[in-house]
Amino acid sequence: MRQQTLFHQGMAGYAFFRIPALIALPGRRVIAFCEGRRDSMADYGAIHVVMRASGDGGATFGPLQVVADAKEHTMGNPCPVFDKNTSRLHLLFNGNRKDGGEGLILQGRAPRSVLHMFSDDLGQTWSNPRDITAQVKKDNWTWYACGPCHGAQLNGGRLIIPCNHAVLKTGEAASGPYISHAIYSDDGGQTWQIGGDVGEYTNECALGELPDGRVYINMRSYHGKSCRAAALSKDQGQTWQGLHLDEALIEPVCQGSVLSLPSFGRLGEPALLFSNPAHREQRQNLRLRLSRDGGQTWSKGVLIHPGPAAYSDLAPLPDGSIGCLYEGGTQHAYEGIHWQVLSAGEIERDEGGG
């Protein structure tokens, strides 16, 4: 395993960095996105979407760049997806006022928006953000979040982004439970549509397409069982079935990443990869697991970071290895955002370990 720290406390004047998202692009280019939180670790305030890019398959990364900012207000939850048909890189993210955090949003007393921007030169330059909230958010929805991690392009060309929301209770200044869903575009990101709800008590989610065309979604769970939730779609995210708790994927209520690969490892067979803090009570022990049966069973996995760790994202690298961008530290999980490369052999070593 090869590791380096890409974002750390105090870098470029930001107090903290959180919410990593990762995308691998043609020409050995890799982009690491996250939130640059200028003044504190709070989830609202002066928060900008920032990135660092690699042109050598993740061996080295260039300087920090600000992708999107609204000055004193919040722009975060970056969720990139690359359209192979047009070579356009899309980035979806969320915005809210500096004084309108999640608590007020859930009460229906502050707005939360969904924004979209794109790049036609693999992230070197970007379009201006455009507000797509009206396309992807219903009038009675309050909280809304993209990802947080990468989206996917399905074999038919559809771009799909994992999201979650909450619904304002009728006549009350409060919302119901979080609900995962997906949004999608069938016209190269020009317009976006809302897919079906997955189920209540789920939110931050990640997804990938299985070899048979079904879409697998894996979600943060509020069911009180200290593990992840999962479901499947047979119609590319328009409806979801089989919501269940996956007790093999333990978690203290956090975020995880899914990466679906048509070919991986020594046998070149399809695989799902999953990363999260694999601990029932604390955000620690970031682990990367492998499934060869569409998420029905998982390997024991390889331990990436044994100490405090939280959010992560995964991307395939040109040499067949896997890059992991994750939050971690020694005293707490948010000391920095780190980059680690794992070979297929390291990931496969305990395959079938349960």
The DSSP secondary structure of 226-237, one letter per residue, reads SEEEEEEESSTT
The full set of domain ranges for the chain reads 2-348
ω into 308 cis (within 30 of 0)? no
- 203: helix, strand or coil: strand
- Tens digits of residue pLDDT in 129-141: 999 999 999 999 9
Q: Does 27 score more than 80 pLDDT?
A: yes
- Tens digits of residue pLDDT in 121-165: 999 999 999 999 999 999 999 999 999 999 999 999 999 999 999
Region of 342 (left: φ > 0; alpha: ψ -120 to 50; beta: rest) is beta
Please say whether the dihedral angle defined by the alpha carbons of residues 51, 76, 47 and 113, taken in this order, is positive or negative: positive
Q: Confirm if 81 and 153 have CB atoms less than 8 A apart.
A: yes
Q: Does 180 score more than 70 pLDDT?
A: yes
pLDDT confidence band for 2 (50 / 70 / 90): confident
Q: Helix, strand, coil % (nearest 5) of the chain?
A: 5, 55, 45
- Give me the pLDDT at residue 316, please: 98
- Tens digits of residue pLDDT in 190-217: 999 999 999 999 999 999 999 999 999 9
- Give me the pLDDT at residue 354, please: 43
pTM over 0.85: yes
The whole-angstrom separation of Cα 22 and Cα 313 is 6
The whole-angstrom separation of Cα 196 and Cα 227 is 23
- Rounded to the nearest 10°, the torsion over CA 325, 67, 56, 208 is 50
- Tens digits of residue pLDDT in 37-77: 999 999 999 999 999 999 999 999 999 999 999 999 999 99
- Tens digits of residue pLDDT in 305-329: 999 999 999 999 999 999 999 999 9
What is the pLDDT averaged over residues 265-277? 96
CA separation, residue 118 to residues 23, 86, 98, 122 (Å): 13, 11, 24, 9
- Give me the pLDDT at residue 350, please: 75
- Give me the pLDDT at residue 352, please: 53
Mean pLDDT of the residues in the chain: 97
Architecture per CATH, 2-348? 6 Propeller (2.120)
